[in-house]
Structure 1
Amino acid sequence: MAKSLKQVLSQIEKLKKEADSLRAKEISGVVARIREAIDHYGLTAEELFGAGATKPAGRGRAAKTAKASAGARKVKAPRGAGAPKYHDGAGHTWTGVGKRPNWFKDALAAGKTAEDLLIG
């Protein structure tokens, strides 16, 4: 006899709960082994995660779900502009990364080469 959609969805829900339970048991075992190794070797957070580690990072499904539900969003720190690689002698510079600026295109159209525009 063929199963109904309702029966299949019910089975899926039961299997998801069972998988979550098994995952939680496995995680607790892994965490216990990691803690035992940390205690045995006397490791610090700095040794494990680097100099910037001041508190444990929230990793895993629960942390991601909590962040997502709270509307938290990870923001990347802005990068520096980088060192200029090209200049035109009129104060325009370009790092050589990203879209070519108009002054660079104009200089190339006027007969200069990229090597001519390189900074010393």
Structure 2
Amino acid sequence: MAKSYKDLLADKEKLEAQLEEARLAELGAAIQQIRDLMAQYDISIEEIGGRRKRGKTGPVAPKYRDPKTGATWSGRGRAPLWIGKNRDRFLIAE
């Protein structure tokens, strides 16, 4: 006879607990192995693709200007409605 839905859910919860327990048990060994290899080969986190600190850049200079209103746009992000399809007309000459 097939197990009931509640019995299957209980089995699922037990299996998930066993899975997490096994993962945590192996995780420590895996991390230690990675640390040992990094020390052996003198590898830094940056060399293996760790997070890189990005410097914040300042505001971008405007690239386009609406001659009627004086509104500007840097060319980044969503285009303003006043720019239309021909952007060359609004380029700021520097």
Gaps of 5+ in 2: none
**TM-score, normalization by structure 1:** 0.56
**TM-score, normalization by structure 2:** 0.68
Structure 1 CA distance for aligned equivalents of residues 36 and 71 of structure 2:
58
Query: Deviation above 2 Å: which 4+ runs of structure 1?
Result: 41-52, 78-83, 88-91
* Partner residue, 1:95: 74
Structure 2 CA distance for aligned equivalents of residues 29 and 85 of structure 1:
54
Change (3 A) 1:8 1:45: same
Greater relative CO (CA pairs within 8 A, separation 6+) = 2
**What is the correspondence of 1:1-120 to structure 2 with a 5 Å cutoff?**
1-44=1-44, 49=50, 52=53, 80-89=58-67, 91-96=70-75, 97-101=77-81, 104=82, 113-120=86-93
Q: Percent identity?
A: 32
Gaps of 5+ in 1: 53-77
Structure 2 CA distance for aligned equivalents of residues 14 and 21 of structure 1:
11
RMSD: 2.8
Structure 2 CA distance for aligned equivalents of residues 79 and 10 of structure 1:
53
Change (3 A) 1:8 1:50: closer
